[in-house]
Structure formats: C-alpha cells, structure tokens
Chain A
Amino acid sequence: MRLPGQLILGAVLSALFIAAAILSLFWTPYAVEALEISNKLKPPGGGHWLGTDHFGRDILSMLMVGARTSIAVAVVAVGIGMAVGVPLGLLAAANRGSLLDEVVMRGNDLVFAFPSLVIAILITAVFGPSALNAILAIGIFNIPVFARVTRGGALSLWTLDYVLAARVAGKGKLRISLEHILSNIVNLLIVQGTIQFSLGILAEAGLSYVGLGAQPPLPSWGRMLADSQTLISLAPHIAIFPGLAIVLTVLGLNLMGDGMRDLLDPRLRRIR
C-alpha cells in the first residue's frame, strides 16, 4: 500500500514538533528563564540560531519549551474530550431514541451553539488566567465533538449482523459497546483526535495571545506573538518564528489527520 504524500509531510512536521518538545525536557540551547537584557533583539545568527527576543532570551529555546506547553494543553484537552465524550456517545448510541440519547445530544447542541473561543475566554475570565484553566476551557469544547463522532460511528455499527449476533448471544449493551463497537470506531477517534489536537494548539495560542493562557515565565507561542507585536517593524524575526511554528504545526497535524482518514476509513478507500 502506498502512503499518500500529505500523510508523510504531515507526519514529518508533527514529529519535528513533538521531538522538539521532548528534547526541551532535557536540553535547550539556552535557559528560557534567564534574561539577558544587554543581548536583546539580536537577529538570527551567531550564537542564537533564531535570534533573541526583547529580554535577550533565545527564541529557539523558547519555541522548544513553548511546544511543550502547547502539547501539554492540547493533549490534556483532547484527553478530557475523549474521556467524557466517547462514553457519552456510546451510551447515546446504545440507547438510541431514549431520553438519555436526547439529553446527551441536546446538551451537545447547547455547547456547540456557542463559539468555543468566546466560552474559553469566559471560563478563564471567571476562574483567572492560567494554563490549567485554558486546558479546561478547551477540553470542555472537545466533549461534544467526540460524543458526536462516537455516536455517529456507533449507530452505523449497531445495525450490523455481528452486533446482532452478539445480542442474540445474550451480551448486554454495555459489553457490546465496549467489545465490539469501540474497537471498530477507534480509527475514527484517532483521526478526530489528531484534528482536535491541532485545534487545541491553535486555541491555546489564541488564548495566550489575549493573555488568558499560560502565564509568564512559562513560554507559550501565543504570548510570544503578542509580546512581539509592537516590535515587529524593529525586529521582525521575533514575530515570524513563533508564527511559523504555529502555522507549520497546525498544518502538519491537519495533513496527518486527513491522510490518516484517507488511509483508515474503508469507505473512502473504496471510492479511490
């Protein structure tokens, strides 16, 4: 089987980003918390590959640690979404048409009806800005996404013969959901997870851009962008690199998500 080009490109970009984040746990070119004011706004080159920011911090190091912040926020947020959304979706599908199904799906509609970023701002405004609240805010918005995908995928499986066979054999709804349904919608969840992951990174960058995400001194891509705003004509590099990091990472994850869907979804494969 031939791997599509976009999948490879996406995987490479995502891998780079994850590798940078992991590497930053052990090593960064410079310490991100050490300010060196006398060395501020140095253009790329010399000892600093990507230059230094307005406090003389190394931008490459900050991007590496910032990747970690982004991943941490996005992973946990997607985790929350999956942990709550998938069981809700399975339950709703198993009890199709019941009151439970109605409550779950209308609840979803309710959350969907609000622009996610606005609610995220509300949550952080009420509970105070911090990385944890950003995670919560983004996580809550992942719940209906996963609930829907799960329910949709599960509903089509419930009509299949082998599920019917399992029911005839006397298995309960819960066991069927866990043993037969869940294992067959894993591919859907992985694809959706990848896309939500990239959206999570974007949301985190957006929240920290307006000052509601991770608080200093913890580096974050969104805040790097916000800090560089007034300096853009003086030292363009300090805005360009965090911007590029966000674009490339989100692009990479989206390409990978799309590529995996093409690969994993049997219906799409048949068409091609």
Chain B
Amino acid sequence: MFTRLKTTTAALVLCASGALAQDSITIGMQLEPPNLDPTGGAAAAIDEVVYANVFEGLTRYQADGSVVPALAESWDVSEDGTVYTFHLRSGVKFHDGTDMTAEDVKFSLDRARAEDSTNAQKALFKGIASVDVVDDVTVKVTLSAPNGGFVTNMAWGDAVIVAPESIDTAATAPVGTGPFKLGRWVQGDRIELVENPDYWGNKPALKSATFKFISDPTAAFAAMMAGDIDAFPGYPAPETLAQFGADPRFQLLIGSTEGETILAMNNKSEKLADVRVREAIAHAINRQEIIDGAMFGYGTPIGTHFAPHNPDYVDLTAQSAYDPEMARNLLAEAGAENLTLTLKLPPPSYARRGGEIIASQLRAVGIETEISNLEWAQWLEQVFKGKDFDLSIVSHTEPMDINIYARPEYYFQYENPDFQALMTELDLAADPAKRSEILAAAQRMIADDYVNGFLFQLARTGVADARIRGLWPNSPTQANDLTGVSWAE
C-alpha cells in the first residue's frame, strides 16, 4: 500500500513538472467552423481557427487593430494612389513544400474577385482592375480608383494567400504559409494544429494547439473549471465571469470586439416605416439596463453603427437617450398607439436575454411585442433572407461594416440615396482626414434616421488559465492569433 502511494506521488510530481514546460494549448470555441477555407466561407469560426495560424495575407492585423506587413515585406503606392506594388518575402513556403511566389498572390486575388467567386467579402476586392506579376517576389495591383483602405482590406481573413495546387481541398485540408498546419480535424469535437517546422518568420512558443468546440454555456463553464480547456476567448456565459475573476487559477480577458449589437428594425415594415416610430423605439430603450441584465455589465453603449474604440467614432448616444416620456409622445404624434411588433431572436444570450429586457422596456411605452426564439438556421431564413420581421437583435461582428447601410436589399432594408452616395465617396477617398469626415457624416446620418436601435458594442469576454500570455484581449478581426502565445514558467 505504502509503495503504491509513493509511486502515485512520483507520478503526480512527474505530471506537474511536465505541465511547467507546456508548449500546447487547448482553446475553447462555441461554434465549429463549417469548413476551413477563409476565402470561401463567411463563418467567423473559420477565421477564428486559421487566421494568422494557418493562413497569412499580404498584410495582417495585430492585437491592437493596426495593420502590419505579413507576406508582403513592403509596398509602394503610385502618385495617384491607384497602383500598389507589393514586395513579397522570399523563401516563404506553403505547408506542402511549394514556394509562395507572386503567381500565388495573383491567383489568390484573381480568384477572390472573379465573377463566380464564393468569397464572403467580395467588396474587399471590388476596386482591383488588374493584378500583374512583375517577378517572383513582386506583384503590381492596379485599382480602378484610389482606395485608401486597400492595404487594410488585404489584412482580412478573406484575403489570405492560397496556392492553386491545394485550393481544391482547402475546405478540409487547408494549406497555407502560417506557423501552424492542420494536424487533425475530428468533426464535431476538435481541430488540432501542429507546428510548421519550415515557417519563414519567428517560430511561435507553442508546438501544437487544439480548438475544442463546446456550444453549451453550462458545459463551457464546467470544462473551463475542470481545466479541460486552457482558454475560451469568446466565452459564452458572461454571468459566470465574476466567479473566474475571483479564482487565482484564471485570468479574465475583457476587451472590445467589432460587434455592434443592434435592435434591427425592418425599415420597410409598415409599422416601422415612419421615422417617428423608430425614434420612439430608440428612446424607449435603456441601454445600460440591457448591458447589465443581458451581458452582466460587459459592453459599451453605442449611438450609431460604429465601434467606440475606432478613432473616427462619434458618440451619439445622447441623441437616442432613454426617455420613455418622449417615446410615448412620438408614438402619439405618429398615430401609432397599440402597436404590436414581432421580435425574432437568434440563440446568443445577448439576443435572448436582451430581447426580454427590450420587450419589457417597449411595453412601458405602450408597444407590445411578440417574441419568438429562433435557431440560427431559422433566423437566417426568416429574418436575414426572408425579411419577415419587425424587430430582431443581432451583433454585427465584421470590422468597419457601416457600408451595409448602403445596401437597400440588406435585411433591415434601409434605403437612402444620400447615404449610398456617401459610401461611394468613402471608397474613393484616400486622404485620412477626408475619410474621417465622411465616416462621421455617415454615423450621424444613420443616427438621424434612427435606422436601427443601436444598443452596445459587444465586449470580448474571455477566460484563460492565469499562466497563459499573449492572447489577444480585443478582437480587431475574427481571430485567435496563437503566434505570440506562451505559458509563463
């Protein structure tokens, strides 16, 4: 008995010392990616696995949201701002051993902007007139008009460089240039990444990484507490964060996301076509109560569709401040008493809980709501595609997505030619001051039109083992960049 006890102790000590020199990480994610090709799918989960880890673009986002060179070492811009000459790094290899050359860049960009391209963000490539290979490490991109945001566009996960040899199987066997390559994908459970020994840049501290998919918030909590998962950057149960915060084994990663959470209003719905009704709804909403009740205090109020951490943000929250009295007057003025609106909610807790709170706030000014809780597939079908709704709550997590208001066929159906003209102007503007000015005008315009109820900027609430260093606190783009992650001794 005693010997056995001693062996057990020895084994435990061994385990503990093994844990000290840890070079692998298990990351929890709520949703599993449908495929692993970021240039062919819209799901955020794809980028959350492969961005910066498996695939790289000409440029890339950093943790603070700035854009730095990646596969392109440097670039020159012509006088008139229409020709970008990218100088590529030499000696970069894809995971399958082939060289990354200018031909691959041309292939990737041409493929993304092609007529039949399935790229989810085709607008990023819209302005490209032609892509020409100068030599093996130089690519010349000619734009049809100057575009000040072009280098940032190339940092998106949708603009990563892929190889023509391996693109056909990229959905299940992605081949990129990043520091990690795909080890194994156990569908429904996890994706394992392993170190790429031939990586061109600084080798990351981690040798392997596992992304584990846990959709249920209760299970996520249990897995975190039990130590089965080292980090859960998009942790789905904000209500339990306080518990992790009080536990020295864990650290909280609280940051901002690009997720503008809005009470989407169907601008073409008969009941909501009158701007006074939409204004009344905006004034009936108490943002702080929603943040406290649905997000347990995590979130920043917004007054327009723009991220508060962006330097061009204009704080317009006062324009739609909580004022139930004013809301009632506006409704009376518009002759919209006894209004009953449908409120269709997708599964995330910000929507389900936020929906109940908003229903109660709207009831206080005399608007009845019919809540229906939908699964994502139903939501996409009924609300996003079918536009059969009055109100909905959803977080728009793409960066710099104010241009969705220029698309009259987009699900909330805002149609304003002035705004569309503004966005065309923005595309053409290269001067930073001019861009700021246009963005500010755009933010004001949608706030003046009360297109949607602007609620709050979704916080990035993450939990991680206290010894992990280098995870992104914010998410300037959808990513779990592991290149800088390490374990403290």
Q: Does A180 contact B (CB under 8 A)?
A: no
A55–B356 contact, CB under 8 A?
Answer: yes
Min distance, Cβ A88 to any Cβ of chain B, angstroms: 34
A54–B353 contact, CB under 8 A?
Answer: yes
B357–A230 contact, CB under 8 A?
Answer: no
Interface residues of A in 34-65 (CB under 8 A from B): 34-35, 37-38, 40, 54-56
Q: Does A156 contact B (CB under 8 A)?
A: no
Min distance, Cβ B120 to any Cβ of chain A, angstroms: 29
Q: Does A152 contact B (CB under 8 A)?
A: no
Q: Does B221 contact A (CB under 8 A)?
A: yes
Interface residues of B in 99-143 (CB under 8 A from A): none
B360–A234 contact, CB under 8 A?
Answer: no
Q: Does A215 contact B (CB under 8 A)?
A: yes
Q: Does B70 contact A (CB under 8 A)?
A: no
What's the Cα separation between A250 and B242 when bound, in Å? 36
Which chain A residues border B237 with CB–CB below 8 Å?
A: 230
Which of A40, A230, A232 has most B Cβ within 10 Å? A230
Min distance, Cβ A64 to any Cβ of chain B, angstroms: 18
A230 with B372, Cβ < 8 A, contacts A35-B289, A37-B292, A38-B292 known: no
Min distance, Cβ A211 to any Cβ of chain B, angstroms: 5
CB nearest to B237 among chain A residues: A230
Which chain B residues border A229 with CB–CB below 8 Å?
A: 217-218
A234 with B240, Cβ < 8 A, contacts A54-B353, A216-B371 known: yes
A34 with B293, Cβ < 8 A, contacts A211-B373, A230-B221 known: no
The number of chain B residues with a CB under 8 A from chain A is 22
B372–A215 contact, CB under 8 A?
Answer: yes
B217–A230 contact, CB under 8 A?
Answer: yes
A215 with B373, Cβ < 8 A, contacts A55-B357, A230-B237, A233-B240 known: yes
What's the Cα separation between A38 and B289 when bound, in Å? 8
The number of chain A residues with a CB under 8 A from chain B is 22
What's the Cα separation between A40 and B290 when bound, in Å? 13
Min distance, Cβ A154 to any Cβ of chain B, angstroms: 43
What's the Cα separation between A79 and B174 when bound, in Å? 59
What's the Cα separation between A216 and B363 when bound, in Å? 13
Q: Mark A228-256, 1 if CB is under 8 A from B, else 0.
A: 01111110000000000000000000000
Which chain B residues border A216 with CB–CB below 8 Å?
A: 355-356, 359, 371, 373
Min distance, Cβ B242 to any Cβ of chain A, angstroms: 7
Min distance, Cβ B113 to any Cβ of chain A, angstroms: 40
What's the Cα separation between A53 and B371 when bound, in Å? 20
What's the Cα separation between A51 and B293 when bound, in Å? 16
What's the Cα separation between A33 and B242 when bound, in Å? 27
Q: Does A87 contact B (CB under 8 A)?
A: no
A33 with B373, Cβ < 8 A, contacts A230-B237, A230-B240 known: no
Q: Does B243 contact A (CB under 8 A)?
A: yes
Q: Does A217 contact B (CB under 8 A)?
A: yes
Which chain B residues border A54 with CB–CB below 8 Å?
A: 239, 293, 353
Interface residues of A in 184-217 (CB under 8 A from B): 211, 215-217
Which chain A residues border B240 with CB–CB below 8 Å?
A: 230-231, 233-234
A33–B363 contact, CB under 8 A?
Answer: yes
A40 with B293, Cβ < 8 A, contacts A230-B218, A230-B240, A231-B239 known: yes
CB nearest to B359 among chain A residues: A217
A217–B373 contact, CB under 8 A?
Answer: no
Q: List 9 A-B contacts (CB under 8 A).
A: A34-B360, A55-B356, A56-B293, A130-B372, A215-B371, A216-B373, A217-B356, A234-B239, A234-B243
A-to-B contact residues, CB < 8 Å: 33-35, 37-38, 40, 54-56, 128-130, 211, 215-217, 229-234
Beyond the given pairs A37-B292, A216-B373, 20 more chain A to chain B contacts, judged by CB atoms under 8 angstroms and listed by A's residue number, are A33-B360, A35-B293, A37-B293, A37-B357, A40-B293, A54-B293, A55-B353, A215-B373, A216-B356, A217-B356, A217-B359, A217-B371, A229-B217, A230-B218, A230-B221, A230-B240, A232-B218, A234-B239, A234-B240, A234-B242
